[in-house]
C-alpha cells in the first residue's frame, strides 16, 4: 500500500496536480514509513516458525538488532521529510538511512566474523520464505533510494540518474539469486 502511495504522490507531482516540493516530501515521508514498516516486520511475521528453531540465537539477535536500527532510521527520517528545510532534506535523510543500513550490516559482519553463526545458516534464514525474499528486495531498493537521494543532493540529477544502472543490475542479480535459491529449497 505504501508503494502505491509513493507512486501516486510522485505521479501527482510530476503532472503538477500538487506542488513538486510537497510531492517530494510526501514521497520521502512514505519511503521513511515503508522503511519503518519493513524493519518492524522483518523479524516478526516473515520468518517461518521452523526457521526460528533452526537458526542460532546470534542470528535471531542480529535480525532483531537490524530491525530495531531500521525502524529507528525510518522514525528519524520521517520528521526530517516533514519539517527539515527543503534544500537539505534529501542529504540528511540519505545519511540517516545509510547510517541505519551500515549499522545493521556491521552487526551482521560481527556475527559472521566472530563465528557465532555460519554464513550458510545466516543465508538460509534470510532467504527462508518467498515473503522474506520480497522483503529483502524492498529493503535493497530502499537502500539504493537513500544512495540516490544523497548523490542527487550532492552532485545533482546527472549522477543520480546514472546510479539507476548499478541498482537495476544489482537488483536483477539479486532477483535471479533469490529465484535460484527458491528452486533449490523447493
Residues in the chain: 186
Q: Residue 93 — very low, low, confident or very high, per pLDDT cuts 50/70/90? A: very high
Alpha-helical (H) ranges within 55-156 are: 57-83, 89-113, 119-126, 130-155
Tell me whether residue 74 is exposed, middle or buried, using C-beta atoms within 10 angstroms of its C-beta: 0 to 12, 13 to 18, 19 or more. buried
With beta carbons less than 8 A apart as the criterion, state whether 141 and 38 touch. no
**How far is Cα 108 from Cα 42, in angstroms, rounded to an integer?**
15
With beta carbons less than 8 A apart as the criterion, state whether 74 and 99 touch. no
Instruction: Give the mean model confidence (pLDDT) for residues 128-151.
Output: 84
For residue 50, count other CB atoms closer than 10 A to its CB.
9
Q: What b-and-e string marks burial along 87-123, b requiring 16 or more CB atoms within 10 Å of the CB? A: eebbbbbbbbbbebbebbeebbeebbeeebbeeebbe
* pLDDT, tens digit (0-9, with 9 covering 90-100), for 69-80: 999 999 999 999
Residue 50 scores a pLDDT above 60: no
Whole-angstrom CA distances from 25 to 4, 31, 172 are 15, 10, 28
Q: Per mean pLDDT, which range of 56-65, 124-133, 153-162, 163-172 is the poorest?
A: 124-133
**How far is Cα 68 from Cα 58, in angstroms, rounded to an integer?**
15
Q: Residue 14 — very low, low, confident or very high, per pLDDT cuts 50/70/90? A: confident
Its sign, for the CA torsion 91, 96, 97, 98, is positive
Amino acid at each position: 500500500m505504501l508503494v502505491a502511495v509513493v507512486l501516486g504522490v510522485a505521479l501527482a507531482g510530476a503532472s503538477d496536480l500538487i506542488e513538486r516540493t510537497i510531492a517530494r516530501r510526501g514521497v520521502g515521508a512514505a519511503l521513511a514509513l515503508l522503511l519503518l514498516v519493513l524493519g518492524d516486520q522483518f523479524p516478526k511475521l516473515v520468518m517461518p516458525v521452523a526457521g526460528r528453531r533452526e537458526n542460532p540465537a546470534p542470528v535471531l539477535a542480529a535480525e532483531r538488532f537490524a530491525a530495531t536500527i531500521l525502524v529507528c532510521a525510518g522514525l528519524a527520517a520521517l520528521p526530517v521529510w516533514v519539517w527539515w528545510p527543503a534544500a537539505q532534506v534529501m542529504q540528511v535523510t540519505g545519511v540517516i538511512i545509510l547510517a541505519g543500513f551500515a549499522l545493521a550490516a556491521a552487526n551482521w559482519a560481527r556475527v559472521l566474523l566472530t563465528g557465532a553463526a555460519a554464513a550458510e545458516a545466516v543465508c538460509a534464514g534470510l532467504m527462508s520464505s518467498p515473503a522474506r525474499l520480497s522483503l529483502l528486495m524492498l529493503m535493497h531498493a530502499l537502500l539504493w533510494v537513500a544512495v540516490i537521494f544523497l548523490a542527487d543532493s550532492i552532485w545533482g540529477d546527472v549522477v543520480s540518474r546514472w546510479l539507476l544502472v548499478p541498482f537495476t543490475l544489482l537488483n536483477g542479480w539479486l532477483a535471479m539469486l533469490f529465484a535460484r535459491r527458491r528452486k533449490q529449497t523447493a
